[in-house]
Amino acid sequence: MTAEIIDGKAFAETVKARVGRQVEALKKNHDFTPGLAVVLVGEDPASQVYVRNKNKSTVAAGMKSEEIRLADTVSEEEVLAVVHRLNDDPTIHGILVQLPLPKQVDEMAVLDAINPEKDVDGFHVINTGRQAVGLPAMVPCTPLGCIMMLKDRLGDLSGLNAVVVGRSNIVGKPMASLLLAENCTVTIAHSRTKDLPAVVRGADIVVAAVGRPEMVRGDWIKPGATVIDVGINRIEGENGKTRLVGDVAFDEAKAVAGAITPVPGGVGPMTIACLLANTVTAACRQAGLEEPQV
Ligand X SMILES: NC(=O)C1=CN([C@@H]2O[C@H](COP(=O)(O)OP(=O)(O)OC[C@H]3O[C@@H](n4cnc5c(N)ncnc54)[C@H](OP(=O)(O)O)[C@@H]3O)[C@@H](O)[C@H]2O)C=CC1
Ligand Y SMILES: Nc1nc(=O)c2c([nH]1)NC[C@@H]1CN(c3ccc(C(=O)N[C@@H](CCC(=O)O)C(=O)O)cc3)C=[N+]21
Find the radius of gyration of the CA atoms of the chain.
19
Is 48 catalytic? The answer is no
Q: Identify which of residues 215 and 287 has a Cβ nearer to ligand X in the complex.
A: 215
Question: Which 172-191 positions form the footprint of ligand X (CB under 6 A)?
Answer: 172, 189-191
Q: 241 an active-site residue?
A: no
Q: How far is the CB of 81 from ligand X (least distance, A)?
A: 26
CA distances from 23 to 8, 59, 269, 291 (A): 22, 11, 19, 9
Determine how β-strand 161-165 pairs with β-strand 64-70: unpaired
Near ligand X in 251-270, by CB under 6 A? 267-268
- Cα separation, 36 vs 276, whole angstroms: 8
Which 3 state secondary structure label does DSSP give 157?
coil
Spatial separation of the C-alpha atoms in residues 40 and 69, rounded to whole Å: 5
Among the listed residues 49, 108, 235, 294, the single contact to ligand Y using CB under 6 A: 49
264 binds, among Mg ion, ligand X, ligand Y, none (CB under 5 to 8 A by kind): ligand Y
For ligand Y (CB under 6 A), the number of binding residues is 19
- Taking the complex as a whole, the smallest distance from the CB of residue 136 to ligand Y amounts, in Å, to 20
Interacting residues with Mg ion between 75 and 134 (CB under 5 A):
101, 103, 107
- Rounded to an integer, what distance in angstroms lies between the CA atom of residue 244 and that of residue 226? 21
The only residue of 146, 207, 263, 277 in contact with ligand Y, by rule CB under 6 A: 263
Distances (CA, A) of 226 to 175, 180, 204, 263: 15, 16, 6, 15
168 labelled binding-site residue: yes
Q: Could you say which DSSP state residue 100 is in?
A: S
Which residues are the active-site residues? Answer: 54, 98, 121
Interacting residues with ligand Y (CB under 6 A): 49-50, 53, 96-99, 121, 141-142, 232, 244, 263-265, 268-269, 271-272
